[in-house]
Chains A and B, each alone.
Chain A
Amino acid sequence: MTRSYDFRALALTIVILIVALGAWELSTNTEILPGAGEMTEYERLMGGGSQNAGVPAPSAVMQKAWEELSDPFHNTGANDKGIGIQIAYSLMRVLTGYALAAIIALPVGFLIGMSPLMFRALDPFIQVLRPISPLAWMPLALFIIQDSEASSIFVIFICSIWPMLLNTAFGVASVRKDWVNVARTHELGPVKTAFQVILPAAAPTIVTGMRISIGIAWLVIVAAEMLVGGTGIGYYVWNEWNNLDLTSVIFSILMIGVVGMALDAAFGRLQRAVTYTE
């Protein structure tokens, strides 16, 4: 039953993909251009209409993808690196900023989850800082940190901290009181209680927060790199936009999607590992 259900879903996905790509391909049919010999000088200087930006056909995007992916690590100077290198730069920034956020958000979240007083005290700060767009921090970060690399890591840090913090606090606060009481009757110390009772109980909620954070961080790094430039997948998109090369832009958008999906899937796996049934 489930097997045939899976199979039918997969078949349907493939059909939708083929129909969508087919419609896209047909809607972008390119006209045949006159040969170079028949053009006047003016037409030739205007490019003979060959560059007229329309949405490229999926076949053009696939061809572009093949070119880029067959040599993902080429490095021909500071401003021309392969897609693999660019994604590696972006991932490195995301993971650094994210790790820093986790180092702060998890303990602080734990603290405010355990202590209603601390929660009330810190809540106004969190409420004001949380809705600020990460990119709004960029000019200030560039000015104060004086380093574009560190600034983009800071932007990742500031955007990934809130979901982790709030989910940790919420998860810790809603651990069933019975379990904490049981720990107390067993005379477990506060540290042991935290690690052996509260942490496993709150783990699913905490990992959910971490999963939301990594998703946001990956969204934000693209915009941050477009702003600062230099390296990374966001810079790659900006550079192709600079050339108004829509085929490359679509290809890089797909790559961003694929990497984001992989990050999410990794945390989904972690989430399943810590889930429990009562």
Chain B
Amino acid sequence: MKSLGNPYDGDVDLRHGLACNCSDCADDAGHRMKAVSARDQRTRMSTDDMLDRAVESAIVRSMFGHNELSRRSFAKMLGGTTLAAALASVLPIDKVKAAILDEIGTPEKTDLSVGFVPITCATPIIMAEPLGFYQRYGLNVEVVKTAGWAVARDKSLNGEYDASHMLTPMPLAITLGAGSTATPFLMPAVENINGQAIVLHNDHRDKHEDVSTWRGLTFGVPFEYSMHNFLLRYYVAEAGLDPDRDIQIRVVPPPEMVANLRAGNIDGFLSPDPFNQRAVWEEIGFIHILTKDIWEGHPCCAFACSQAFAETYPNTYGNLLKAIIDATQYASDSANRSEIAEAIAPTNYLNQPVPVIEQVLTGRFADGLGNVRDEPNRIDFDPFPWHSMGVWILTQMKRWGYIEGDIDYAAVAEQVYLAADCGKVMADLGLEVPAETYKSHVIMGKTFDPAEPEAYVESFAIRRT
């Protein structure tokens, strides 16, 4: 929204900070009203104008280091037209605009349907619609809200969705035929890293310090083939609890987590945001640990499509991927987070109060225990699908008995996680591409070497193999 405001106008604020106290931001309703009117305004701009405006805005704001105050005072001092001319003299804005548009051929199919589950992990996929990233690459994408992961899987398998927001383990599981018929799926980009948390009910505050006291509790995770499930299992197993015997793990769709926690149906959950923050906001639970403190930089959600889609419409696939990676990169800049929170909060997308989303995206949040915490990495966005992350997920699927027998970890990870496609698009967009696709990860102090997956599985005392 705000990126479409006139960047040369000193009276326009291009973003709303957390502490913004303009009358519109005083309450939630005002925020929504504002989002709606901004949307109306946007529909009156043509797609081309919008695109130009988005690019100009990004350039101008980056010129000022995303500092709104200096941009505005500068614009007021010089006047908008002079500022525009001054910038054009040092920066070929028209060329920048053109460069973003070419490279991949024209899409074969422009009307696309992309599914998402309403959680903040889907931020790049969702925001690409209101902020015009899809249009920038000549695509008319409708993002469709999906009730849960099983439905997202089924609608992707039957072709109702051209591509979809998925959990990083899902394309691996679908390709292997675990929990569905084996269909080759591709995951060319990760959406977010970190971005989850373990929340406990307020009644269990006494269990905050010592995880071994969790024996007998019931936890919700959103899906079996999810980082949530694997991280929760890993976390309790490190404390000496067997996740299959000492605690109960139940699959609960993300939106139902908070209601179930309130009803006492579950004692806690490891779920995606905004539901962790929502549980705090509703004064039902507290944040026990952010998953970034279990594994800093762990993958969470992904952008995935069937191999058939990518092969039938290669240009569409390329442009879609480019739009997604571009949006992911935009979301990773913390200066853009407040604007994004406002863009994705309305009913059409996450349907959540703006302050809740803002706390998740900016990382300055109330933890439900009386503290205001500052964790800028609470959620981050990084598209690169490391093969080593795929191998780690497979080791955990093996560890807990989701897959059996011998498995060629690297081959499966490389077939599904298309690091090369992602790298190419990242290079096109002028981003830095990692030279390797494997690296070792440190999870709760223990180093995972992707070259020795089998030994890693065997190294755990609690396992199903």
Contacts and interface: CB of A to CB of B under 8 A. Distances in A.
Given A45-B355, A52-B283, A243-B351, A229 B143 contact: no
Contact of A229 (B129, B145, B157): B145
A98 interface: no
Given A51-B282, A52-B282, A228-B151, A79 B353 contact: no
Given A230-B144, A242-B118, A80 B366 contact: no
Contact of B255 (A45, A227, A242): A242
Given A78-B144, A78-B145, A239 B351 contact: yes
Interface in B314-354: 346-349, 351-353
Contacts of B278: 244
Given A80-B347, A143-B154, A53 B145 contact: no
A47 B279 CA distance: 12
A244 B158 contact: no
Interface in A135-159: 139, 142-143, 146-148
Contact of A42 (B118, B256, B366): B366
A189 interface: no
A62 interface: no
Given A143-B154, A148-B160, A228-B151, A46 B281 contact: yes
B348 A51 contact: no
B36 A76 contact: yes
Contacts of B147: 226-229, 235, 238
A76 B151 contact: no
Contacts of A79: 143-145, 347-349, 351
A254 to B, nearest CB: 19
Given A47-B281, A47-B353, A241-B259, A41 B372 contact: yes
B366 A45 contact: yes
B291 interface: no
A116 interface: no
Nearest to B258: A244
Nearest to B117: A229
A49 B26 CA distance: 15
Interface string A231-242: 000010011111
B151 A229 contact: yes
B146 interface: yes
Contacts of A241: 255-256, 259
Nearest to A143: B154
Given A78-B142, A243-B352, A227 B151 contact: yes
Contacts of A15: none
B359 interface: yes
Nearest to A77: B348
A46 B145 contact: no
A52 B258 CA distance: 13
A36 interface: yes
Interface of A: 36, 41-42, 45-47, 49, 51-53, 76-80, 139, 142-143, 146-148, 226-230, 235, 238-244
Given A46-B280, A238-B255, 19 more contacts: A42-B372, A45-B372, A52-B282, A52-B283, A53-B282, A77-B129, A77-B142, A78-B144, A78-B348, A79-B144, A79-B349, A80-B348, A139-B150, A146-B159, A147-B158, A148-B154, A229-B146, A229-B148, A244-B259
26 contacts: A42-B366, A45-B359, A45-B365, A45-B366, A46-B280, A47-B353, A53-B282, A76-B348, A78-B144, A79-B143, A79-B145, A79-B347, A139-B150, A142-B158, A146-B158, A146-B159, A148-B151, A148-B160, A227-B147, A229-B145, A238-B255, A239-B145, A241-B255, A242-B118, A243-B347, A243-B351
